[in-house]
Structure 1
Amino acid sequence: MKAIFSRFRPSKKLVVILSAALSVSAASGGAAVYVGRDRLMARIAEPPPSGLECTTIRTLKLDHQGQRWVRMHVKTDRASGPDRIRTALRVVSALSQKEKADLYQVVVLDAAGPEERAAVRGAAIGAEVLFAPGPQSVKGMEDPFRASYNDGAANASGMFHGKTVRLELDQVRALMSAMEDRSLCIDPSAATESAEADEAAEQTIESAEAPAGH
């Protein structure tokens, strides 16, 4: 074996060719890695098409001049304006699948903002969507959607002091068509009601199984 390897002495020309080929291969491989990484980072940096996780504060079902209106107040944590409006559009879409109404309204607040019903106005509103399936029947609604958000970040008190950005109908449709998720926000009250119902059911079963006294 030593004799075989001792006889094999590559020429300087072959060494140069092999070195050049390996250099090109390494460079192209490195470029592929960096391109893939750039694409991955760009993908991560893209805003979630369906908005962010949110929490339901309250759902109000109103009878307004013979019409049924459903209003929902939700909150997100330090979300940007575009993320808030995507969240509101996702929620109003999910709400319209769950509840039948003439007008749906979803208001997005910051997690640090006021939650009292009377305080949900002005600078407390980070995004708002109105949806009327039959806009001609709802006063003031010319189109099915009216969507807007505040482009400022929430301050420590959860208030927004930026400019109001209103979306055109085609922008709303484009955002909604790109959504991959159509879920509502987390509803703490629903979880509490479910837990109370489970506890009541367990107590009923225990009472039924308890031996009768003598």
Structure 2
Amino acid sequence: MKAILTKLRPSKRLVVILAAAFAVSAASGAAAVYVGRDKLAAHLAEPSASGLECTMLRTVKLDHRGQRWIRMHVKTESAGGPDRVRTALRVVGALAKKEKADLYQVVVLDAAGPQERAAVRGAAIGAEVLFAPGPQSVKGMDEPFRASYNDGAANPDGMFHGKAVSLGLDEVRAIMAKMDDHSLCIDPAAAEAEGAEGPATPEASEHPAEAAEGHGGH
């Protein structure tokens, strides 16, 4: 019996080789788990191709010289300019699928920004998109899209004091082609807003290009 056990006993050299092999295997496994976690964290940190969750502040529907214009103001939590303009592009696309109009305008404000419609201009605007399905019929729109964002961060009052960045039509199309979400913003007052649309206001006389210039985003 003793002789059999002696024969089965591994040599010191074999023990060293096996121990090294197990060590390398364990290290590789740990590295794989670590790299896997890094990739997951990086994926979660990537910006959404469709922008951010947003809250609708108001929608204004106007009749301007026989044309239908829809203007929507939405809010997002603290976000970078590219995320804000992606949000605006997503919303304008969803809005165009839901309702027919000659001109759509989506303005993104910071959550801490102004509530009053008259104050939605200049530094209050974090991003803005104008979309005209038939641009030739809307004076001042030579292309279907006009998209821009402020590259600054919002201050505590929800105002942006960075530089305005405009997107080209090819950039807009590339962004929209990558979107996997086409939802509108959350409407906290949907129940009350339903059927509460009022008559057109004096704003109906605004020219889209003039409105954009007044906002300071173009």
TM-score (structure 2 length as normaliser): 0.84
Partner of 2:74: 74
Q: Deviations over 1:110-169 (max 9, x none)?
A: 111111111110000000000111111111111111100001111111100001111111
Q: Which moved more, 1:64-73 or 1:98-107?
A: 64-73
SS in 2 for 1:130: strand
1:96 partner amino acid: A
**Aligned residue runs from structure 1 range 87-126, under 5 A:** 87-126=87-126
**Aligned residue runs from structure 1 range 36-75, under 5 A:** 36-75=36-75
Overall identity of the aligned pairs, in %: 77
1:177 is displaced (CA, Å) by 1.1
Structure 1 4/72 Cα, relative in aligned 2: closer, same or farther at 3 Å? Answer: farther
**Aligned residue runs from structure 1 range 1-214, under 5 A:** 8-192=8-192
SS in 2 for 1:60: strand
1:65 is displaced (CA, Å) by 2.0
2:18 partner amino acid: L
1:30 is displaced (CA, Å) by 1.8
- Once residues 5 and 190 of structure 2 are traced to their aligned partners in structure 1, the CA distance between those partners, rounded to angstroms, is 78
Structure 1 97/13 Cα, relative in aligned 2: closer, same or farther at 3 Å? Answer: same
1:56 partner amino acid: M
- Once residues 169 and 123 of structure 1 are traced to their aligned partners in structure 2, the CA distance between those partners, rounded to angstroms, is 24
- Once residues 132 and 112 of structure 1 are traced to their aligned partners in structure 2, the CA distance between those partners, rounded to angstroms, is 29
SS in 1 for 2:106: strand
- Once residues 2 and 28 of structure 2 are traced to their aligned partners in structure 1, the CA distance between those partners, rounded to angstroms, is 36
For the aligned residue pairs, the C-alpha RMSD in angstroms reads 1.8
- Once residues 192 and 84 of structure 1 are traced to their aligned partners in structure 2, the CA distance between those partners, rounded to angstroms, is 27
- Once residues 3 and 171 of structure 1 are traced to their aligned partners in structure 2, the CA distance between those partners, rounded to angstroms, is 80
Alignment gaps of 5+ in structure 2: 195-218
Q: Which of the two has higher C-alpha Rg?
A: 1
Q: Deviations over 1:11-52 (max 9, x none)?
A: 012112211211221122122112211211110110011111
2:70 partner amino acid: V
Structure 1 15/141 Cα, relative in aligned 2: closer, same or farther at 3 Å? Answer: same
1:69 partner amino acid: W
Structure 1 100/193 Cα, relative in aligned 2: closer, same or farther at 3 Å? Answer: closer
- Once residues 2 and 142 of structure 2 are traced to their aligned partners in structure 1, the CA distance between those partners, rounded to angstroms, is 90
SS in 1 for 2:189: helix
Alignment gaps of 5+ in structure 1: 195-214
- Once residues 91 and 174 of structure 1 are traced to their aligned partners in structure 2, the CA distance between those partners, rounded to angstroms, is 16
SS in 1 for 2:33: helix
- Once residues 126 and 165 of structure 1 are traced to their aligned partners in structure 2, the CA distance between those partners, rounded to angstroms, is 11
- Once residues 32 and 55 of structure 1 are traced to their aligned partners in structure 2, the CA distance between those partners, rounded to angstroms, is 40
Moved over 2 A (4+): 1-8, 191-194
